[in-house]
């Protein structure tokens, strides 16, 4: 009598466990030995394994197909006129707006907002991909494939080609690897800094780039000295009553200030965005106080407005759930 081999369930249990652990159970195809019938048995094993797994530990696969299908419908023959009318160029402002709304959500530590805004950004990516696909240039899968290949190429110390022990060395290697990519090959070093970036961010990146070839002050105290020099030149320009010269000197002040921020690992664009959001919140609180006083702005003194402002600051800093006036 032949010795009975392992049962079907025991034979495929390790495979099912792997598929569950790695989140690769979305597409079950009939490649199991034994054909569709055996594949159906594996599918039932997977369903049972999912049902026994704790929800918080389930690693669901990421799938953008539903959004791709929605976009295909929106830009199809019976789709949405607005979506069908869009081009890469007309969508520029919307992509920029969505990114800044995402920054707002981050600054407010609004996790549901972050989730929503990331979805809006993803929508922008998919509509750009659809426009390109309609022209036979590339599609959404090409975008995923390209960025995956790029990240693997730029991280050889992670994906096994070589080991880099120091972060500084890895960053140098990152730049070297980028230069080998077609779109990163530029005639001039600073050509890699996009001209359409917000000006403070652009100033930060220009000086970051030039510093990598040694074009920077050796000591941070020298940057402070340059900042004070530019500030004085700005004040002198104001005395001349020459708005063109004053604007130029103001730009120099901001440019050097961006470099100071870089020295202290602060991104000036993000810092200013945060300050803008803070002003917006506090001014809205002041506005509410004025409305609740049943007076017009002209009837409220500057001292009272300042008191409302200080109250807004205290309200922001107090622990949540406490009464400011208690």
pTM over 0.75: no
Splitting the chain (326 residues) into consecutive groups of 10 residues, what average pLDDT does each group show? Answer: 60 71 51 62 75 56 87 94 94 88 85 93 96 95 90 77 49 56 66 81 90 90 96 96 94 96 92 90 95 94 96 84 48
pLDDT digits (tens, 9 = 90+) for 28-63: 444 455 556 776 777 777 777 766 665 544 455 678
CATH number of this structure's domain 65-154, picked from the four choices 1.10.287.1080, 1.20.1300.10, 3.40.50.2300, 1.10.645.10: 1.10.287.1080
- Give the pLDDT confidence score for residue 27 in this predicted structure: 46
Cα angle 11-16-21, degrees, rounded to a multiple of 5: 140
Closest CA to 121 of 141, 93, 98: 98
Buried/exposed code over 5-31 (b: 16+ C-beta within 10 A; e: otherwise): eeeeeeebeeebeebbeeeebeeeeee
Closest CA to 183 of 169, 194, 199, 173: 194
- Give the pLDDT confidence score for residue 158 in this predicted structure: 75
Domain ranges of the chain: 8-57, 65-154, 199-266, 270-317
24 in Cβ contact with 61 (< 8 Å): yes
pLDDT digits (tens, 9 = 90+) for 4-27: 556 767 777 777 776 666 555 544
174 in Cβ contact with 154 (< 8 Å): yes
CATH topology agreement for domains 65-154 and 199-266: yes
124 in Cβ contact with 94 (< 8 Å): yes
Taking the domain 199-266, which CATH number applies? 1.10.287.1080
- Give the pLDDT confidence score for residue 228 in this predicted structure: 97
Q: For residue 245, what is the enclosing H or E element?
A: helix 243-263
């Amino acid at each position: 009598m032949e010795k009975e081999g392992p049962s079907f369930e025991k034979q495929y249990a390790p495979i099912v466990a792997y598929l569950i652990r790695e989140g690769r159970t979305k597409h079950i195809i009939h490649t199991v030995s034994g054909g569709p019938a055996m594949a159906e048995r594996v599918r039932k094993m997977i369903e049972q394994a999912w049902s026994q797994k704790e929800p918080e530990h389930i690693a669901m696969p990421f799938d953008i197909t539903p959004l791709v299908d929605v976009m295909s419908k929106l830009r199809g023959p019976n789709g949405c006129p607005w979506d069908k009318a869009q081009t890469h160029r007309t969508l520029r402002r919307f992509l920029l707006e969505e990114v800044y709304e995402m920054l707002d959500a981050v600054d407010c530590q609004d996790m549901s907002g972050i989730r929503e805004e990331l979805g809006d950004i993803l929508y922008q990516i998919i509509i750009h991909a659809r426009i390109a696909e309609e022209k036979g240039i590339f599609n959404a899968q090409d975008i995923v494939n390209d960025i995956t290949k790029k990240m693997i190429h730029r991280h050889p110390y992670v994906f096994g080609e070589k080991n880099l022990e120091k972060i500084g060395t890895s960053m140098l290697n990152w730049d070297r690897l980028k230069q080998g990519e077609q779109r990163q090959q530029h005639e001039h070093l600073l050509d890699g800094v996009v001209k359409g970036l917000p000006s403070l961010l652009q100033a930060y990146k220009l000086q970051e780039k030039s510093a990598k070839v040694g074009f920077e002050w050796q000591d941070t105290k020298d940057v402070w000295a340059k900042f004070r020099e530019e500030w004085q030149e700005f004040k002198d320009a104001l005395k001349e009553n020459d708005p063109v010269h004053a604007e130029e000197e103001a730009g120099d002040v901001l440019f050097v200030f961006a470099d100071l921020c870089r020295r202290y690992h602060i991104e000036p664009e993000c810092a200013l965005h945060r300050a803008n959001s803070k002003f917006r919140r506090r001014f809205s609180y002041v506005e509410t106080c004025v409305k609740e006083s049943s007076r017009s702005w002209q009837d409220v003194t500057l001292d009272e407005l300042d008191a409302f402002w200080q109250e807004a600051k205290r309200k922001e800093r107090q622990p949540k759930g406490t009464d400011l006036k208690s």
